[in-house]
Homo-oligomer: A and B are copies of this chain.
Amino acid sequence: MLSSEIEIDIRFSETDAMGVVWHGNYLKFFEDGREAFGREYGLEYLTIFDKGYFTPIVKSEIDHKASVFYGQKIKVITKFVSSKAAKIMFEYQVVNLSTNELCAVGKTMQVFLDRETRTLELLTPDFYRIWKEDNLA
């Protein structure tokens, strides 16, 4: 299974008046995870853009298991989820490195839009089919 890890320091601006990381910021951590995965396996946002596509997020889910406080450090583990559809799917685990707790899990789904027309690609783009053959064999 393809996966990637990245460590992230919490920003003060990412906390809220409860003194913990504001829940919506986990989607930024997932984004950090996806880009770390992309750098490791050659599937970065800009690589995909150069192939002619935007890949907007069409679905995201976050399950929070424990709060994260300012001063703590987290690790995001990003796992590629294979699919026959023209989609890119990831699962995420966020570990609080200061407590060794799993603090959140989540999922995202992306589709391919033609960069110029912004129309949905229903078929898997060639470059992505090849990437999957090369990486998932």
Tell me if A16 and B15 are in contact (CB < 8 A).
yes
Given the interface pairs A12-B31, A13-B24, A35-B12, the reply to whether A118 lies near B57 with Cβ below 8 Å is no
Q: How many chain copies does the complex carry?
A: 4
Given the interface pairs A27-B27, A31-B12, the reply to whether A59 lies near B64 with Cβ below 8 Å is yes
User: Is chain A's binding surface mostly helix, strand, loop or mixed?
Assistant: mixed
A61 neighbours in B (Cβ, 8 Å) = 59-62
Given the interface pairs A19-B17, A22-B12, A45-B70, the reply to whether A59 lies near B62 with Cβ below 8 Å is yes
List chain A positions with a Cβ less than 8 A from chain B: 9, 11-13, 15-20, 22-25, 27-28, 31-32, 35, 44-46, 54, 56-64, 67, 69-71, 118
Interchain nearest-CB distance for A128 vs B (Å): 18
